[in-house]
Structure 1
């Protein structure tokens, strides 16, 4: 292992260079990383890579899911909960069933159970790829919210399918009521364990005398504790991390200090950057190991099977996107839906084309045991499933990843009015927060205000919206008042985000960050 350390170090440098190149040429970096890994694997002397599925599931997956849960808006997740839930659970299940029948009919030696196993592996789209691509094109906020929300949950549903399919292949039978009970426990247990552990971390960090470094370390430890605890009792580790991450994210201003929030953001951005880069590079590097186990079927036929399954996945997702529109248009007559308007034909097409697959699918395929049971016969079609999965990942990343920006620009998505424009929200927040702040000073700190030039200057700044002013030395009691004012602004912003559905939460978060930075500046300079 130690002799290959320079090689692994060079991979980190390669990731940085490739992401720089991707930003330069306006291509999603997962595409370049997978292709680069594929090319590197053909260089003579390159160490043979072996991806341990536990490495992905235990080391990589929890922090990536946790970071995504912190980044997503709970308001958006709840607003689009029906379509997110349908894509994350119903569409994943329908995709797995469709793949099962197609594989059983077209691929020799594939039973329905094996086809269902393959379907569970390749059914969940990868959110990292889609979000990386969407950075280069402008899409409606609703679409990015749906894709982000779906990505938080679809891994859990696909891994649940994988677990049931493995049992069906090994035993030759499927007992539906046992599967239903197991599914219920995986969902309820996973969510419950995640919320419980998140609550314990939240209370611990609020009560114990931690500092910014300790808080950051605890945020890194938390997703691993949630995932491992849930998996130990055979519930869903993915749902545990997602539910726990959402709870902590929505309470971050209650138990984390300003310094902890600011420093934690920097650490997490770097950590996720490296983890995402490594997993996509490893996909390409793992090709020699995947092809070396391919026996009993020609390479041409195996590629053909992979392309067939890819076409099925793309077709099912596009049809599901249109089906979701039809169901919504019917359901709006009986229940309240997020949007009663007809989105037309273009939006579902783009949503359906965003189904790039990623490293979770490859890790799931690699997790298939080599034998049906200990000392038993080889697991049927394991190597072919691995190869098909690789072809699906490579094809969707390269083909859909490169064409999605072009498609988005060509279809000219409608301009939905889900939110006020960014300029309107910014102006409204500045004006109303200034008015609220001035009133708060007059009502609660008038005596200190009368004798403090600093607070008078702050008052004047908010009154006239002047952003630059000379530095003024302030006393400890004035600093206490100013910190209280900043906290009041923070509370007001959080209330506005909760009450005003026309506000994009990303803008609210930017203003909260400004308050954190102002508070940090005050603590450091005075």
Structure 2
């Protein structure tokens, strides 16, 4: 019963954090509220959440990494592939090496392998935290795509580096050649498992759906099981479950371009995954705060072993590590972005110092960092406590909190009216709209002839098809006439969207009014409201 109570309290804290983030006028990111609520729970409650690190890893990381890979804009990821790979792989290795040595120098009581492990878990960034910070400021799309791609890949590379560091700490030995060969097996094997399992599952469920019909509940459940299946199978083969989950997500995005699923299944599935993402990320940050009081006691004891006695040394360590991370990221971004961002774009302007600073400050640590550091083993192979585990966890927590606060303060002014080389994606979008509308007209014409052939009421089919084709012809005319600049197009679309939302809300109010006056049944009302909700979701995006 106590475990159930703990779970319900954590979920309630996640809900309250969402309310507070909207109520409080200061634009603080939701994770900070979740950490604060978790700390309150840790101080007030007489119980502590004790999680098996491997279980924690399995519960939270596969679905989050899978969803990141599934939803990332793949074309944008490939367009800026060099910039993304440089940040996701090169910067991770640069950070692990630089910060590992720095942390070991700063805290001699922390073994070098543990220091490298801590550096590995604080290297991945969290785009969800960045989005929460920048929700009131317009962030350039290209910048967000690069940050999303970086976060997707550096999660895997950072946590793979953590795996090697922990192995070195447990065995006391590290071979570069053996690590390189192991890394190739771990990386390639993880990717193959993720791609292969997802491809097989997708084609199997597509075959079954075509022959026996589609069950939306089963489709949603399958999507939930794929990341866990990929992770567990890869780990069983001693490959990277992390990379398997990422590869599964990317593959899911490709195999679903066939469009086999029904629209209602996609809508319901997206809602389920949005809830899972919100809940999993929220619980991780609440757990961070809940663990904070107990970890602080253990970390303070570890600090005393280094020759210090004052707890404020913890703040010194956290500040020094954050400064080191910021400097390393700034140097790497300054060099790598200047090299890659404008390559192939002719005389595109050199990225400004403001853009470089914003890209550097956007390196916020979040859920993956906490999930990774909590997986540090509790004991060594001989049964002795894992060295400096509490201190490593506390320092990782401090890095998350300080990076969130720093980005909350610094990003809004940096992002305001920030410009960077754009991708010119609007023209392609308009061409796609026109092409899709033409394909729709052709399909409607063909279907109308087939359905009306030999029927005495063929004029009804003709009239119905005419109304639908008029809508698509209007879309074609508007798309081909778009010679305005991008700002005018966006302004016009915003006006149309706002007016459409006003109309839909009025329809919904009238339906509910008719239900209250018993002029409309509840079942009919639910059907009508669902149609309006789907339309509003379309206009609201």
Change (3 A) 1:170 1:425: closer
Map of 1:23 onto structure 2: 22
Matched, 1:315 2:323: no
Distance 1:243 1:339 in 2: 36
Distance 1:222 1:175, change over 3 A: same
Quote the residue 2:405 is aligned against. Answer: 398
- CA 1:402–1:420 in structure 2 vs 1: closer, same or farther (change >3 Å)? same
Contact 1:205 1:256 in 2 (8 A): no
Shift of 1:111: 4.3
Question: How do residues 152-191 of structure 1 correspond to structure 2 at under 5 angstroms?
Answer: 152-191=152-191
Aligned to 2:40: 39
Asked if the contact 1:122–1:392 (Cα under 8 Å) also holds between the matched residues in 2, the reply is yes
Residue number in structure 1 paired with 2:468: 458
The whole-number CA distance in structure 2 between the counterparts of 1:314 and 1:9 is 37
CA 1:415–1:337: 2 relative to 1, 3 Å:
closer
CA distance 1:65–1:14, shift in 2 (3 Å):
same
Quote the residue 1:108 is aligned against.
Answer: 108
Give 1:30 deviation, angstroms: 1.1
Aligned-partner SS, 1:42: helix
Moved more, 439-448 or 277-286: 439-448
Structure 1 residues 89 and 426: alpha-carbon distance in aligned structure 2, compared to 1, 3 A threshold: closer
> CA distance change for structure 1 residues 114 and 16 in 2, over 3 Å: closer, same or farther?
closer
Report the alpha carbon displacement of residue 139 of structure 1 after superposing the two structures with TM: 1.2
Using structure 2 for the length normalisation, give the TM-score.
Answer: 0.79
Say if 1:136 and 1:222 are closer, same or farther in 2 by CA, change over 3 A. Answer: same
8 Å CA contact 2:448, 2:465 repeated in 1: no
The one of 404, 415, 418 aligned to 2:423 = 418
- Aligned 1:7-406 pairs, distance under 5 A: 7-24=6-23, 25=25, 26-43=27-44, 45-208=45-208, 209=212, 210-254=214-258, 255-294=260-299, 295-297=301-303, 298=309, 299-328=311-340, 332=343, 336=344, 341-375=349-383, 377-406=384-413
SS in 2 for 1:293: helix
| Alignment size in residue pairs | 465
Which consecutive residues of structure 2, in runs of 5 or more, have no partner in the other structure? Answer: 304-308, 453-457, 477-489, 494-526, 535-541
Unmatched 5+ stretches in structure 1: 467-503, 508-516
Helix, strand or coil at the partner of 1:280: helix
- Deviation of 1:219 after TM superposition, in Å, equals 0.5
**Residues 183-192 or 121-130, more deviating:** 121-130
| CA distance in structure 2 between the aligned counterparts of 1:106 and 1:462, rounded to whole angstroms | 66
Q: Secondary structure at the match of 2:136?
A: coil
- Root-mean-square deviation (Å): 3.1
Distance in 1 (CA, whole Å) between partners of 2:191 and 2:348 is 31
Distance 1:408 1:260, change over 3 A: same
Q: Is the 8 A contact 1:79 1:338 kept in 2?
A: no
Whole-angstrom distance in 2 between the partners of 1:104 and 1:455: 73
Q: Is the 8 A contact 2:234 2:241 kept in 1?
A: yes
Q: Indicate the larger mover: 70-79 or 427-436.
A: 427-436
Contact 1:125 1:154 in 2 (8 A): yes
Deviating 4+ runs (over 6 angstroms)? none
Q: Is the 8 A contact 1:77 1:146 kept in 2?
A: yes
Q: Tell me how far apart the structure 2 counterparts of residues 324 and 246 of structure 1 sit (CA, whole Å).
A: 25
Q: Is the 8 A contact 1:56 1:360 kept in 2?
A: no
Q: In the alignment, what sits opposite 1:469?
A: none
